[in-house]
Homo-oligomer: A and B are copies of this chain.
Amino acid sequence: SARERVPRSSSTSPSRSVGSAASTAKQAPSTFVHISEQPFTLANWHQHINWLNVVLIIIIPAAGCTAAVFTPLQPKTALLAFVYYILTGLSITAGYHRLWSHRAYSARLPLRILLAAFGGGAVEGSIRWWSAGHRVHHRFTDTDRDPYSARKGLLYSHMGWMVLKHNPKKSARGRVDITDLNADPVVRWQHKNYIAVLVTMAFLFPMAVAGLGWGDWKGGLVWAGIVRLTVVHHATFCVNSLAHWLGDQPFDDRRSPRDHFLTAIVTFGEGYHNFHHEFPSDYRNALKWYQYDPTKWVIWALKHVGLAYDLKTFSQNAIEQGLVQQKQKKLDKWRARLNWGVPLEQLPVMEFEEFQEQAKTRALVLIAGVVHDVANFIEQHPGGKALIQSGIGKDATAVFNGGVYDHSNAAHNLLATMRVGVIHGGMEVEVWKMAQRENKDSTLKSDSNNASIVRAGAQA
């Protein structure tokens, strides 16, 4: 009874290929509730499924891999499959992704044609469909509008999003600017002839190479065509799943993208994904020469043969700013977990005479305008009992800060945990604050948790 509405075709509507929600459409139910908004039932579950995609990313691969068990792998065909895996995979990463989705560089016509052709052989949809969706992913990362949101689970972001149907009314595809894609004749041509490109490049071309080359038609189709396709699929799908799940977040931890060399190895270098989401139009994903980013190396090489130009990079300054900010954030969190003593402004204020009076019965030492109860520390004092006892009831600021012993940072930190009061008038406190500012080139500040930041060597 539940049937779905035919989505109107628009310039940004999904293509007819993988990931399409427009294919296999039927009539909408009278209530106009899109199938994706209805619960799964025994009766309607098959309507939730995007069957064209299921054929392309599950059934054909499964059939091909089964056939492979009964298809001897000839060495030449194996080499072809491997080379074609690299070519079609790199056409997705260097072409679909870094060139067309992110404009990270510009490519001359012959290169664009090659990338469009081999990229079509990866069976991931047309450039226009793929890039528009990818821009939505960057623009709405981790939100409900993110087509492959990592919040919906590893499997969902890997394949689930393509297997299920989506309400085209809720798509954010209309919100991204793809005028540049529409302006590229190669993109337009590939989108228009996508089915032909797919069948030719994914299956016929590798079959023909192996067939005409060394008579292995079947091996060409099964191994260099379908098995190779399956590997390319899961390798590139990992950018949406693994890269949002495994690794570090050196630039921003508010969203899911992560950096990991394992992901990089699987994905032709797309594994430095925290960097990539922060600097999407940088033609690099990995910054260091020893990190694995073959897509970057290929783009760089294409530049040197004149096929690519205008390679974009974010400035080293912008990149280091990101690192510094994220490190600061982590440090703030760490600082917040530690005990830095009662904040000065929460301490009771006492007169100097009061301090002297109380010090007759309590082990109070005045340092930098702050009164400390050192009773529990006298026995442990690494400088000996005598010295610390000599400070009781006195202003031991000078003696503590170099007059007798220039105490370590650790000593200053310990001291802060013994605070019990501040001397009225605050003269000493003022002096100390001035000293902080003038002599030590440092001001007392609080961090994002309102905890005060004290640097090594800048304590009271």
Interface size class of chain A, counting residues whose CB lies under 8 Å from the partner chain: 35 or more
One of B279, B328, B405, B454 near A453 (C-beta < 8 A): B328
A55 and B278 CA atoms in complex are apart in Å by 66
A339 and B280 CA atoms in complex are apart in Å by 21
- In the assembled complex, A259 has its CB within 8 A of some CB on chain B: no
For residue A414, which residue of chain B has the nearest CB?
A: B318
When the two chains form their complex, are residues A326 and B456 in contact, meaning their CB atoms are under 8 A apart? yes
When the two chains form their complex, are residues A456 and B410 in contact, meaning their CB atoms are under 8 A apart? no
Asked if A327 meets B331 with Cβ closer than 8 Å, knowing A179-B384, A455-B448, the reply is yes
Interface centre among A335, A409, A410, A441 (most CB of B within 10 A): A410
When the two chains form their complex, are residues B448 and A409 in contact, meaning their CB atoms are under 8 A apart? no
Interface centre among A254, A335, A408 (most CB of B within 10 A): A408
For residue A405, which residue of chain B has the nearest CB?
A: B139
Q: Mark A399-418, 1 if CB is under 8 A from B, else 0.
A: 00000010011100110010
Q: Mark A315-341, 1 if CB is under 8 A from B, else 0.
A: 001111110111111011011011110
- In the assembled complex, A252 has its CB within 8 A of some CB on chain B: yes
Query: Nearest-CB distance from A376 to chain B (Å)?
Result: 12
- In the assembled complex, A277 has its CB within 8 A of some CB on chain B: yes
- In the assembled complex, A75 has its CB within 8 A of some CB on chain B: no
When the two chains form their complex, are residues A103 and B456 in contact, meaning their CB atoms are under 8 A apart? no
Asked if A408 meets B277 with Cβ closer than 8 Å, knowing A332-B455, A384-B177, the reply is yes
One of B319, B321, B325, B443 near A450 (C-beta < 8 A): B443
For A458, the chain B residues whose CB sits under 8 A away are: 325, 448
When the two chains form their complex, are residues A456 and B180 in contact, meaning their CB atoms are under 8 A apart? no
When the two chains form their complex, are residues A322 and B383 in contact, meaning their CB atoms are under 8 A apart? no
When the two chains form their complex, are residues B322 and A180 in contact, meaning their CB atoms are under 8 A apart? no
When the two chains form their complex, are residues A386 and B328 in contact, meaning their CB atoms are under 8 A apart? no
- In the assembled complex, A361 has its CB within 8 A of some CB on chain B: no
A450 and B335 CA atoms in complex are apart in Å by 20
When the two chains form their complex, are residues B329 and A410 in contact, meaning their CB atoms are under 8 A apart? no
Asked if A252 meets B325 with Cβ closer than 8 Å, knowing A179-B386, A386-B179, the reply is no
A441 and B335 CA atoms in complex are apart in Å by 15
- In the assembled complex, A46 has its CB within 8 A of some CB on chain B: no
When the two chains form their complex, are residues B139 and A314 in contact, meaning their CB atoms are under 8 A apart? no
Query: Nearest-CB distance from A145 to chain B (Å)?
Result: 11
For A456, the chain B residues whose CB sits under 8 A away are: 251-254, 322, 325-326, 328-329
For residue A332, which residue of chain B has the nearest CB?
A: B455
- In the assembled complex, A281 has its CB within 8 A of some CB on chain B: yes
- In the assembled complex, A110 has its CB within 8 A of some CB on chain B: no
For A443, the chain B residues whose CB sits under 8 A away are: 446, 448, 450
When the two chains form their complex, are residues B409 and A455 in contact, meaning their CB atoms are under 8 A apart? no
For A455, the chain B residues whose CB sits under 8 A away are: 325, 328-329, 332, 448
- In the assembled complex, A445 has its CB within 8 A of some CB on chain B: yes
When the two chains form their complex, are residues A180 and B327 in contact, meaning their CB atoms are under 8 A apart? no
One of B280, B329, B457 near A382 (C-beta < 8 A): B280
When the two chains form their complex, are residues A441 and B445 in contact, meaning their CB atoms are under 8 A apart? no
Asked if A380 meets B457 with Cβ closer than 8 Å, knowing A321-B338, A322-B409, A328-B331, the reply is no
Q: Which of A228-259 contact B (CB under 8 A)?
A: 251-254
For A433, the chain B residues whose CB sits under 8 A away are: none
Asked if A279 meets B410 with Cβ closer than 8 Å, knowing A441-B449, A442-B448, the reply is yes
One of B321, B386, B441 near A340 (C-beta < 8 A): B321
For A340, the chain B residues whose CB sits under 8 A away are: 321
When the two chains form their complex, are residues A252 and B457 in contact, meaning their CB atoms are under 8 A apart? yes
When the two chains form their complex, are residues B317 and A410 in contact, meaning their CB atoms are under 8 A apart? no
When the two chains form their complex, are residues A252 and B321 in contact, meaning their CB atoms are under 8 A apart? no
- In the assembled complex, A447 has its CB within 8 A of some CB on chain B: yes
Q: Which of A184-198 contact B (CB under 8 A)?
A: none
A121 and B180 CA atoms in complex are apart in Å by 82
When the two chains form their complex, are residues A384 and B450 in contact, meaning their CB atoms are under 8 A apart? no
Q: Mark A78-99, 1 if CB is under 8 A from B, else 0.
A: 0000000000000000000000
Identify the 7 closest CB pairs spanning chains A and B, nearest first. A442-B448, A325-B456, A281-B382, A177-B384, A445-B445, A321-B413, A326-B456
List 14 extra interface pairs beyond A442-B448, A445-B446, CB under 8 A.
Answer: A177-B383, A179-B386, A251-B410, A252-B456, A278-B409, A279-B410, A319-B410, A320-B338, A324-B338, A325-B409, A329-B455, A443-B446, A443-B450, A448-B458
